[in-house]
């Protein structure tokens, strides 16, 4: 029975539904001490003195340290793995600030006590004398003359300038019939995984380290911990138990992990730290915060001839693990699914006195897709064309397609997705209803917005990563191991936090080996079990890790085939393998099943000469290309023209994510992605005031949408096979990448008859109302 | 100003017309209020949203008897201890997850005398004499509760962190007869945030468990 392609229920659910999740904060070791972090209330301040006397004297306090006290513990600063140019500025960043705090929330001291509450009590007794410094929070202001410098020693707030340009871009723009230039500001987004971060560190008597961490990246953590602590990776074990969502914000190696290890080593006790939500808003990375200026050039018939984008991207106060590289993940997507022959993209990284930015769902690709799809609508208005027709005219038709920017899209059928979208949407009916409301002069106007998109994920081909200066590779690994009695253990290098890898990966292996899906156990998230891996982010787990798993499975079959051929005294070529059984071609009664081969491999009584016992194989897979999902989305919104209140009434998504191993899980990934993109369009914005104070530090002020703000989604799929053995593409980020522009295009469309051409992000009632007033006055 | 405006409609919904249309929402609102009368704050003035920062003579331990998942517990509690932490740290019932410190996310929702309450909005001492059901106590004879089963059938959880609170909020909503259609379910669950599912499958699961289409 084949299980690939079927919506089998998740094996992950049972424990989580019964309240038996192993989230880090649920774990406690005998003798655990609790850490609380004291953070700077100032966006920029010199640390004059740190007085820990009162904290140290408080009930239950074991120890308290300032940044200076711990300065000798660090073998190196918290590293950035992606310095995108030779001269990218990377100022040192330590787990606890020593002389200067550079953003609100920068750690300045740490307290360890017998309980969480006592640690927090004592943290309030730490007296830090600050000398406030001028601060800057806005990317454009940070580049202006005389702006306060985030890192004075650098002499500038400019972190880097990175450019990708084809020859003749200016000539193409000059020669165009129509040129449209638009400016967009995409605000900060705060990831808000519902489980805040947390770590539990234990140091053994020989200096061996175990770190339980709410992380997406146990393998990367281990690597970076050696750099920061000087402890050999071989002595470090990182465990990512159940992890309550990440969305990119649990990729980074934050200071609290190494800090807990250092304290556990000094105190001889396990040390635990659990982030609070208000702390999460300040201390965990943010996403976006980019200003774009985009120019499209086109013929009067609507053929786009050039795209030029210039972007100013906030880094925050320090570079986190891949901060400077986030814009680059979108660098090849400013032409999206369209055939555009001339191309220019420039990014300027900018330091500001704010929480560092890094990967948030989509990472660089939502930014690119937003400005591209908004500008498509602007160009359509300029040309007097229907936005769907403009898209259709420019969509890539043939695959593989090499873009002007240099990368090759392996597969897709963007027209098929768009056709299917229009069918599900019933565009004519929506337009008719819109026209009727306009005719009647209804207070509540209807708008429909589109986004045809593609994206580049499945991070990533190691050679390309090397060429764009990423520090390590993008392969992944998997091990498939038959136990002697025929059950199968699978060990993967990816590290799920809600994506259902255990279920999906078991489906793949069960089908190929011809064993029951329940006979396959999937292990992950512990570097002592999974030695090789590059973890989970960038929609890579199936598109990269899944292929490694496929290859390991093939290697197991190959070895089993050799064993069976030896025992049946036939040549390997004479054997067919299907449904878990090797059969001799032409003599189907001569057969041996793979479980019998597994037992024979372990018994080792009769193996081919020189063959090692056991039936276990490991494979690594380094993709030759990125993964290129795509599709067509539409949003229908209702806008109250008197109050500006906007409700999303329909959302239709047609995606091509290649072959769906588990369609139920694929749909779930799309739903969650959509919600985050829709939230960016209508609700979410991390706001700093001019002095660098974060104003949105709770879920009451930062509007993570609830069920009441969202509709049910209409999802469908078209399918083209990716160029890999499973035909799969990434899916984790598609919804977030595609949805924000569709929604804002719909808001603008609802008001277009009034003359509105833009509404800033997020399209809150106030902004929508203001946009209406501007055109009315 | 804009932030406050944008958030307001949700709260207004919960407190005005929804009072009649969705009795469950009323109960949650009432409990929220009930945890913050003056008498409570005299025990632990609100200097800190978690109620953690205050010590001193008000902090004298108090004897509390409560029943959790059918088991009676006698505890000596600090007045400032939130029910959420009493469940997690005193009783080891770590299924009750904590996702925020402003009573916004609902991850720590439990049933108190059968009605859903965010256990971070209630002090442990207020639970004296009350019956609490946490996610660990919802299954019967090892069988998942119909709402838990519906979450499994409809893929209504991904990372699972919001799930215990979401399930218990849904149980309470259904038992109150307030899960009457999709919109009622969406409004009834507005106090529980999920970042993974976009709520699509949660709403489907709750509708299925409630027997509405």
- Total beta-carbon pairs less than 8 A apart between chain A and chain B: 221
- How does pLDDT run across A186-236, given as a tens digit for each residue? 999 999 999 999 999 999 999 999 999 999 999 999 999 999 999 999 999
Position A588 confidence tier, pLDDT thresholds 50, 70, 90? confident
A577 strand-pairing partners: A582
B193 & B167 share domain: yes
Q: Which of B157, B187, B197 sits opposite A13 (nearest CB)?
A: B157
Mean predicted confidence (pLDDT) in A235-255: 98
- Does residue A243 carry a pLDDT above 90? yes
Decide if B159 and A196 are in contact by the 8 Å CB cutoff.
no
Domain boundary among B119, B137, B155: B137
B44 & B113 share domain: yes
For strand A33-39 and strand A107-113, is the pairing parallel, antiparallel, or unpaired? Answer: antiparallel
Number of domains in chain B: 2
The DSSP result for A418-438, as a single string, is HHHHHHHHTHHHHHHHHHHHH
CA angle A396, A399, A402 (to 5 degrees): 75
Contact A223, A217 (CB under 8 A): no
B56 & B122 share domain: yes
Q: The domain that contains B188 carries what CATH number?
A: 1.10.150.120
- How does pLDDT run across A545-569, given as a tens digit for each residue? 999 999 999 999 999 999 999 999 9
% of chain A at pLDDT higher than 70: 100
B131 & B153 share domain: no
B127 & B159 share domain: no
User: In 3D, which of A341, A284, A351, A347 has the Cα closest to residue A314?
Assistant: A351
Decide if A700 and B7 are in contact by the 8 Å CB cutoff.
yes
Decide if B2 and A764 are in contact by the 8 Å CB cutoff.
yes
The DSSP result for A66-130, as a single string, is EHHHHGGG-SSPPP-SB--STT-------SS-SSEE-STT-EEEEEEESSHHHHHHHHTT-EEEE
- How does pLDDT run across A642-689, given as a tens digit for each residue? 999 999 999 999 999 999 999 999 999 999 999 999 999 999 999 999
A281 touches chain B (CB under 8 A): no
B39 & B113 share domain: yes
Decide if A23 and B161 are in contact by the 8 Å CB cutoff.
yes
Instruction: Return the CATH fold of A13-133+195-244+250-283.
Output: Aldehyde Oxidoreductase; domain 3 (3.90.1170)
Average model confidence (pLDDT) across chain A: 98
B19 & B123 share domain: yes
% of chain A at pLDDT higher than 90: 99
Rounded to a whole number of angstroms, the distance from the CA of B37 to the nearest CA of chain A is: 21
B126 & B22 share domain: yes
Fold identical between A287-459+625-776 and A475-621? yes
B167 & B131 share domain: no
B24 & B64 share domain: yes
Which residues of chain B neighbour A59 with C-beta distances below 8 Å? Answer: 55
> Residue A110: phi, psi to the nearest 5?
-145, 145
Residues 50-79 of A with CB under 8 A from B: 59
The more confidently predicted of residues A149 and B52 is A149
Domain boundary among B103, B119, B137: B137
Segments of chain B with pLDDT less than 50:
1-56
Position A253 confidence tier, pLDDT thresholds 50, 70, 90? very high
| Interatomic CA distance for residues A257 and A270, integer angstroms | 12
Q: Which of B49, B195, B198 sits opposite A193 (nearest CB)?
A: B195
CATH class of this structure's domain A287-459+625-776: alpha beta
Q: With a cut of 0.90, is the ipTM above it?
A: yes
Token duo for residue A147: 């702006």
Token duo for residue A438: 């306009």
The pLDDT of residue A305: 98
Contacts of A384 (CB under 8 A, 6+ apart): none
For strand A287-298 and strand A304-316, is the pairing parallel, antiparallel, or unpaired? Answer: antiparallel
Decide if B160 and A21 are in contact by the 8 Å CB cutoff.
yes
The DSSP result for chain B, as a single string, is -HHHHHHHHHHHHHHTHHHHH-HHHHHHHHHHHHT-SHHHHHHS-SSSTTS-S--SGGG--EEEEEEETTEEEEEEE-TT-BHHHIIIIIS--TTS----SSS-S-TTEEEETTEEEETTSSBGGGGTT-EEE-GGGTSBTTBPPHHHHHHHHTT--SS-SSHHHHHHHHHHHHHTT---SHHHHHHHTTTS--SSSTTHHHHHHHHHHHT--
Domain boundary among B120, B137, B154: B137
The parent domain of residue B127 ranges over 2-137
Contacts of A712 (CB under 8 A, 6+ apart): B182, B200, B203, B204
The pLDDT of residue B44: 34
SS3 (DSSP) at A446: strand
The pLDDT of residue A777: 86
A26 touches chain B (CB under 8 A): yes
Decide if B10 and A671 are in contact by the 8 Å CB cutoff.
no
B19 & B79 share domain: yes
Domain boundaries, chain A: 13-133+195-244+250-283, 287-459+625-776, 475-621
B19 & B117 share domain: yes
A180 strand-pairing partners: A296
The structural architecture, per CATH, of the domain A475-621 is 2-Layer Sandwich (3.30)
Contact A320, A358 (CB under 8 A): yes
Rounded to a whole number of angstroms, the distance from the CA of B141 to the nearest CA of chain A is: 13
| Interatomic CA distance for residues A361 and A405, integer angstroms | 23
The DSSP result for A529-549, as a single string, is T--S---S-TT-IIIIIIHHH
Mean predicted confidence (pLDDT) in A313-319: 98
């Amino acid at each position: 029975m084949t299980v690939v392609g079927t919506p089998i229920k998740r094996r992950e659910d049972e424990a989580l539904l019964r309240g038996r999740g192993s989230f880090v904060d649920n774990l406690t070791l005998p003798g655990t001490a609790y850490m609380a972090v004291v953070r700077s209330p100032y966006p920029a301040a010199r640390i004059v003195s740190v007085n820990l006397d009162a904290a140290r004297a408080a009930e239950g306090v074991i120890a308290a340290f300032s940044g200076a006290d711990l300065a000798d513990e660090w073998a190196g600063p918290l590293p950035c793995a992606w310095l995108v140019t030779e001269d990218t500025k990377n100022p040192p960043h330590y787990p606890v600030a020593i002389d200067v705090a550079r953003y609100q929330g920068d750690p300045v001291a740490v307290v360890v006590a017998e309980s969480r509450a006592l640690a927090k009590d004592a943290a309030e007794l730490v007296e830090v004398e600050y000398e406030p410094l001028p601060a800057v929070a806005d990317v454009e202001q940070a580049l202006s003359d005389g702006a306060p410098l985030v890192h004075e020693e650098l002499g500038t707030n400019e972190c880097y300038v990175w450019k990708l340009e084809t020859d003749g871009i200016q000539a193409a723009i000059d020669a165009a019939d129509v040129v449209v230039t638009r400016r967009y500001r995409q605000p900060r987004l705060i990831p808000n995984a519902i489980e805040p971060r947390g770590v539990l560190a234990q140091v053994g008597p020989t200096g061996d380290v175990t770190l339980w961490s709410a992380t997406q990246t146990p393998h990367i953590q281990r690597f970076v911990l050696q750099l920061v602590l000087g402890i050999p990776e071989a002595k470090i074990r990182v465990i990512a138990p159940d992890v309550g969502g990440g969305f990119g914000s649990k990729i980074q190696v934050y200071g609290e992990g190494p800090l807990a290890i250092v304290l556990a080593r000094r105190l001889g006790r396990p040390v635990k730290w659990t982030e609070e939500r208000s702390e999460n808003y300040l201390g965990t990375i943010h996403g976006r915060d980019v200003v774009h200026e985009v120019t499209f050039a086109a013929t009067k018939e609507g053929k786009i001839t050039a795209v030029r984008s210039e972007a100013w991207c906030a880094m925050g106060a320090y570079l986190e693990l891949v901060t400077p590289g986030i814009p680059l993940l979108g660098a090849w997507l400013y032409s999206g699914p369209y055939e555009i022959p001339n191309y220019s993209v420039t990014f300027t990284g900018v330091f500001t006195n704010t929480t560092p930015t890094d990967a948030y769902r989509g990472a660089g690709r939502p930014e690119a897709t937003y400005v591209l799809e908004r500008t498509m609508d602007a160009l359509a208005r300029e040309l007097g064309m229907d936005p769907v027709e403009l898209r259709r005219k420019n969509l890539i038709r043939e695959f593989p397609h090499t873009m002007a920017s240099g990368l090759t899209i392996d597969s897709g059928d963007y027209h098929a997705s768009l056709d299917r979208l229009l069918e599900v949407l019933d565009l004519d009916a929506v337009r008719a209803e819109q026209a009727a409301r306009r005719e009647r002069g209804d207070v509540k106007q209807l708008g429909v917005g589109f986004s045809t998109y593609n994206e580049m994920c499945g991070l990533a081909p190691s050679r390309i990563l090397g060429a764009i200066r990423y520090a390590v590779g993008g392969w992944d690994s998997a091990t498939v191991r038959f136990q002697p009695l025929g059950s199968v253990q699978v060990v993967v290098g990816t590290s799920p936090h809600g994506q259902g890898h255990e279920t999906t990966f078991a489906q793949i292996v069960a089908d190929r080996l011809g064993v029951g899906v329940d006979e396959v156990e999937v292990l992950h998230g512990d570097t002592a079990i999974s030695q090789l891996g590059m973890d989970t982010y960038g929609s890579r787990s199936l598109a990269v890790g899944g292929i490694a798993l496929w290859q390991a499975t093939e290697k197991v079959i190959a070895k089993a085939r050799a064993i069976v051929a030896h025992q049946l005294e036939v040549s390997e070529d004479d054997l067919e393998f299907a449904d878990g059984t090797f059969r001799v071609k032409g003599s189907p009664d001569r057969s041996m099943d793979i479980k019998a081969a597994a037992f024979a491999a372990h018994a080792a009584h009769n193996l081919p000469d020189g063959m090692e016992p056991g039936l276990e194989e490991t494979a690594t897979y380094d993709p030759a290309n990125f993964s290129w999902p795509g599709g067509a989305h539409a949003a229908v919104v209702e806008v109250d023209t008197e109050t500006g209140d906007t409700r999303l009434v329909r959302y239709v998504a047609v995606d091509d994510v290649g072959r769906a191993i588990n369609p139920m899980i694929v749909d779930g990934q799309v739903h969650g992605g959509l919600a985050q993109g829709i939230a960016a369009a209508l609700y979410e914005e991390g706001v700093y005031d001019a002095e660098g104070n974060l104003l949105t530090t709770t879920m009451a002020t930062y509007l993570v949408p609830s069920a009441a703000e969202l509709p049910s989604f209409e999802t469908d799929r078209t399918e083209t096979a990716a160029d890999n053995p499973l035909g799969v593409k990434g899916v984790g980020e598609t919804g977030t990448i595609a949805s924000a522009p569709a929604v804002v295009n719909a808001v603008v469309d609802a008001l277009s008859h009034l003359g509105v051409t833009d509404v800033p992000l997020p399209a809150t009632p106030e902004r929508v109302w203001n946009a209406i007033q501007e055109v009315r006055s | 100003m804009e932030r406050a405006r944008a958030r307001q409609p949700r709260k207004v919904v919960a407190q005005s017309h929804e009072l009649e249309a969705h009795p469950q929402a009323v109960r949650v609102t009432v409990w929220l209020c009930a945890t913050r009368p003056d008498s409570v704050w005299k025990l632990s003035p609100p200097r800190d949203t978690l109620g953690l920062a205050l010590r001193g003579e008000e902090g004298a331990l108090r004897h509390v008897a409560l029943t959790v998942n059918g088991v009676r517990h006698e505890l000596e509690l600090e007045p400032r201890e939130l029910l959420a932490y009493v469940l997690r740290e005193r009783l080891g019932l770590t299924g009750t997850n904590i996702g925020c410190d402003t009573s916004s996310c609902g991850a720590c929702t439990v049933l108190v005398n059968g009605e859903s309450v965010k256990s971070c909005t209630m002090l442990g001492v207020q639970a004296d004499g009350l019956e609490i059901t946490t996610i660990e106590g919802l299954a019967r004879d090892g069988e998942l509760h119909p709402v838990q089963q519906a979450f499994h059938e409809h893929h209504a959880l991904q990372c699972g962190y919001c799930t215990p609170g979401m399930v218990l909020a849904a149980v309470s909503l259904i038992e109150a007869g307030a899960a009457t259609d999709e919109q009622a379910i969406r409004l009834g669950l507005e106090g529980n945030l999920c970042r993974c599912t976009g709520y699509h499958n949660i709403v489907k699961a709750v509708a299925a468990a409630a027997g509405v289409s």
